[in-house]
Amino acid sequence: MASPLLERVRQEIRVRHYSLKTEKCYLYWIRRYIRFHNIKHPATMGSDEVSRFLTHLALDKNVSSSTQNQAFSALLFLYREVLKQSLNIKNTIRAKQPKNLPVVLTREEVSLVLSKLHGNHWLMASLLYGSGLRLMECVRLRVKDIDFSYKTITIRKSKGAKDRVVPLPKILITPLKQQLESARILHKQDLFSGFGEVYMPYALNRKYPKAGKEWGWQYIFPSGNLSIDPYSNKKRRHHFGEQSLQRAVKKAVRLSNIHKPASCHTFRHSFATHLIERGQDIRTVQELLGHEDVKTTQIYTYVLQKGGQAVISPLEDLPI
């Protein structure tokens, strides 16, 4: 049984429609914070205790900057949204932010990896590369998000809670239509069995109580099994599991004898890099990726050595 405080945190998270993954992450860090301070109630603590915990993560646990930021986001949510207290952590030692360039595959490597994938794994990985999608954006795609006439995909409420439109490669239209037909047959079977209601975001099920069973709201890549929705306790068919695609891509990279640390997200990096390589305007690429700041997109110019480090080695001038 969760403590009253953690239940309050859970309720505040669900009111804001955060993902289940975020909910688990925030609760994990809040529990660690409480244990670190010998089970003291967070309401009796404040900025100093938060700073000590975050510094502990950086110095003693040697966590990455992203992990420390994750912990800070959880505690910031706890104090601001649940306990209604402000935080000041100016004296916190922050974990060092790595300056890593993204891993990018060549066109030949992308083709090779895709050739090792089959079925939905191939189709989803092709969308990651062909449309620059994030992994979760891909598995959460719904029927209504695809426009075959305009050859576009609309990504709904992605990172930053913004919509964006990305291209649908012509080569994927036929296999995507075939997948939709398979999903439609599965949906009809679910309706016949008394199911077929999909999860509706942002409490739309209350506004449109019948929409959850409509074809347009169904996932393009449905799970192979029905499961219990942890929010509503209803038995539903969720979307395809992201871990399945992650494992398949890792295996395909290994079978391709590629020794780069490539993952699903590498397809998105490769999409951006190859567009810039072909002369696509950086602002257009920024919009397609959904980046808030163009500086985030500009990192791909360094991958192509089109930034300030585009130098020719003196070795090239030697009469070898």
The catalytic residues are 134, 159, 265, 268, 291, 300
- For residue 51 the two structure tokens come to 């700073």
Three-state DSSP class for residue 74:
helix
Burial class (CB in 10 A: 0-12, 13-18, 19+), 305: exposed
User: What tokens appear for 235 in the block?
Assistant: 């038995």
Residue 115 · residue 253 · CB < 8 Å = no
Taking phi over 0 as left and psi of -120 to 50 as alpha, with beta for the rest, 12 belongs to: alpha
146 φ, ψ (degrees, to nearest 5): -100, 130
3-state secondary structure (DSSP) of residue 219: strand
Q: Smallest Cα–Cα separation from 132: which of 247, 292, 285, 277? A: 285
H/E element, 296: helix 294-297
Burial class (CB in 10 A: 0-12, 13-18, 19+), 176: buried
Distance CA 35, CA 48 (A): 16
Alpha carbon dihedral 79, 161, 19, 212, in 10-degree steps, equals: 140
288/271 Cα distance (integer angstroms) = 10
- Residue 249 tokens, joined: 């891509």
The neighbouring-strand residues paired with 237 are 226
